[in-house]
Amino acid sequence: MSGFPILTVMLAVPAIAAVACLFLNAQGARWLALAATFVDLALGILLWANFQTGDGAAQWQFVEHVRLFGIGGAEFAWALGIDGFALLLIALSVFLMPICIGASWLSIEKRVPEYMAAFLATEVLMIGTFAAQDLMLFYVFFEGGLIPMFLIIGIWGGANRIYASYKFFLYTLLGSLLMLIAIIYMILTTGTTSIPVLMQHDFPAHVQTWLWLAFFASFAVKMPMWPVHTWLPDAHVQAPTAGSVILAGVLLKLGGYGFLRFSLPMFPEASAQFIWLVFLLSAVAVVYTSLVALVQSDMKKLIAYSSVAHMAIVTFGLFALNAQGIEGAMMVMLGHGVVSGALFLCVGVIYDRLHTREIDRYGGLAINMPRYAVLFLLFTMASVGLPGTSNFIGEFLSLAGLYQVSTLYALLGTTGIILGAAYMLYLYRRVAFGDLTKDDVKAMPDLDLREFAMLGALAAVTLWMGVYPESFMKPMRGDVEKLVARLERAAPAGDSAPTVGKPAPAAHHEAAPAAHGEAH
């Protein structure tokens, strides 16, 4: 692959296609968008296939560096390059994009060329965010990624779309500004914009604190963490199906990626210092948003709230600052990306038929839509974290990592598996089970080929990640090791601290177990 600027090409293909879409009619734009996203998917597979892992593999691969301009001693560059984390998130993005285009095939009828252009622009910006090695470049992609999303919600959204996009914007604005200030400070003090260099830079502890907080303001909103999560339910409810898929699937991962790329490696001491804050907010999120999800009557709101709870497991895992926690967090991000995307698609499928998201308007779909019911069940179970599906791996590892730091938070985090089962199964029951009594629901046809292909692909990946996660964990293993090594100096001691035991005294095994009585 040497010499071929594959990352730039992956950015250029959807970018050119986006512009071209604007000059086509609706049908042409659809096909072009689909073709472009498939090209990017193929390039993504190529990227993955050529990514080196194991000993001796470089941390940063497919590196491209073109100097753009210098200001005040700092060099700004078109610097791209990926490590394992970035690779996996790019793979997730390019995998979800053709599905998003497919999901919009019929349901979007107005301004189709512009819509497709917006989606392709989102793809460019997402890949750019994950591939950027230059701090300013990252910032542009990271914040820019929201613009097409505002448009998608604001133009093609539901009845209350303006309020939703306003809220989405307002939340992100504050965080973005603080992060920008922090970025400028970092550039000024270190004289570099290179992310890999900054990841090795040791900022003084008191500086780390402020920088960490500034970045946290941005990432916490993107995550979203409690209590800055209230934009998400509204954004999801108003967004068109594909908008929700990409929002839940990839955009929610920007926060986690930010923590992984910036907060943890650049500010290890501050990260350790603020563990209590992250854990506290995460614990509240797990319990609070799960309970809120339980009482929702709007399907999309329910899944949106469940996303907040799942993302709390990500922050739990990341800030456990150990290998299981961080790998688990990444696996939750990937798994949730696939599964919540699939769940929003499942909602979209029936929304397209009945044009309502009210759970109570459905019921008994297992009777007339059996194929849909099976796939929906699979994604429900994956969301619940059933072993054998993608989400289990992540949740299990994150919580295992968390337990090593705090048994109390591990207990609180694990309550998510009970509450998650309650709200998801309750949702599934009301939609798919029960008798088929409503006439308009009876008339709903089962999945067509297009829908089946999209959900089938997502189902296959869900099971693949659950049964053989090694495919996904291998590329990031080296990066996790490096990160954990960097965090080691700051990582907290856990509250378990088991003391060494000694062999049991020669057991006489007299009948009474009272013989063991001195266990304390």
Partner 1 sequence: MSPIYFIVFLPLIAAAVAGLSNKAFGSTFPKLVTTVSLFAACALSWPIFLQYLGGHAEPTISPVFTWMLSGSMQVDWALRVDSLTAVMLVVVTSVSFLVHLYSWGYMSEEPDQPRFFAYLSLFTFAMLMLVTANNLVQMFFGWEGVGLASYLLIGFWFRKPSANAAAIKAFVVNRVGDLGFMLGIFGTFLVFGTIDIPTILAAAPNMHGSTIGFLGARFDTMTVLCLLLFVGAMGKSAQLGLHTWLPDAMEGPTPVSALIHAATMVTAGVFMVCRMSPMFEQSAVALGVVTFVGAATCFFAATVGTTQTDIKRVIAYSTCSQLGYMFFAAGVGAYGAAMFHLFTHAFFKALLFLGAGSVIHAMHHEQDMRYYGGLWKKIPVTYWTMMFGTLAITGVGIPGIFGNTAFGFAGFHSKDAIIEASYAAGQTSAFWVGVFVALLTSFYSWRLVFLTFHGKPRWAGSEHIQHAVHDHHGHGHDDHAHGQEAAEDEGAGHTPTADEILHDHGHEGTAGYHPHESPIVMLIPLIVLTLGAIFAGFVFHGFFIEPSAGETYWHGAVAFNEHLMHAMHEVPVWVKLSATIAMLSGLAIAYGAYIVSPSFPAKFAEAFRPLYLFSLNKWYFDELYNFLFVRPAFAIGRLFWKQGDEATIDRFGPNGVAKVVQLGGGVTAKLQSGYVYAYAFIMLIGLTAALTWVIAR
Q: Which of 49, 159, 449, 497 binds partner 1 (CB under 8 A)?
A: 497
What the block records as the tokens of 61 is 């691969």
418 belongs to the binding site for partner 1 (CB under 8 A): yes
Beta carbon of residue 363, minimum distance to partner 1 (angstroms, whole number): 10
Helical pair 135-144 and 146-156, crossing angle rounded to 10 deg: 10
140 or 354: CB nearest partner 1:
140
Between CA 76 and CA 79 the distance in angstroms is 8
103 or 164: CB nearest partner 1:
164
36 or 366: CB nearest partner 1:
366
String of contacts with partner 1 for each residue 95-134, x by CB under 8 A: ----------------------------------------
Q: Which of 367, 453, 457, 463 binds partner 1 (CB under 8 A)?
A: 367
Beta carbon of residue 502, minimum distance to partner 1 (angstroms, whole number): 5
Q: Is 437 helix (H, G, I), strand (E, B) or coil?
A: coil
Cα-to-chain-centroid distance, residue 21 = 28
Nearest CA to 425 out of 382, 368, 394 is that of: 382
Beta carbon of residue 40, minimum distance to partner 1 (angstroms, whole number): 27
167 belongs to the binding site for partner 1 (CB under 8 A): yes
3 or 513: CB nearest partner 1:
513
Beta carbon of residue 172, minimum distance to partner 1 (angstroms, whole number): 10
Region of residue 54 (left: phi > 0; alpha: psi -120 to 50; beta: else): left
391 belongs to the binding site for partner 1 (CB under 8 A): no
54 belongs to the binding site for partner 1 (CB under 8 A): no
Hey, which residues between 471 and 490 contact partner 1 (CB under 8 A)? 473, 477, 480, 484
The DSSP element (H or E) to which 191 belongs, if any, is none
String of contacts with partner 1 for each residue 217-236, x by CB under 8 A: ----------xx-xx-x---
Beta carbon of residue 111, minimum distance to partner 1 (angstroms, whole number): 15
Q: How many residues bind partner 1, per CB under 8 A? A: 103
Give the single-character DSSP code of 24.
S
Beta carbon of residue 378, minimum distance to partner 1 (angstroms, whole number): 10
14 or 469: CB nearest partner 1:
469
**Please, are residues 469 and 338 in contact by the beta-carbon 8 Å criterion?**
no
What the block records as the tokens of 67 is 């100097």
Instruction: Count Cβ atoms below 10 Å from residue 196 Cβ, excluding itself.
Output: 15
- Produce one character per residue of 428-439: b if its CB has 16 or more CB atoms within 10 Å, e if not: bebbbeeebeee
Between CA 407 and CA 390 the distance in angstroms is 24
Instruction: Count Cβ atoms below 10 Å from residue 486 Cβ, excluding itself.
Output: 18
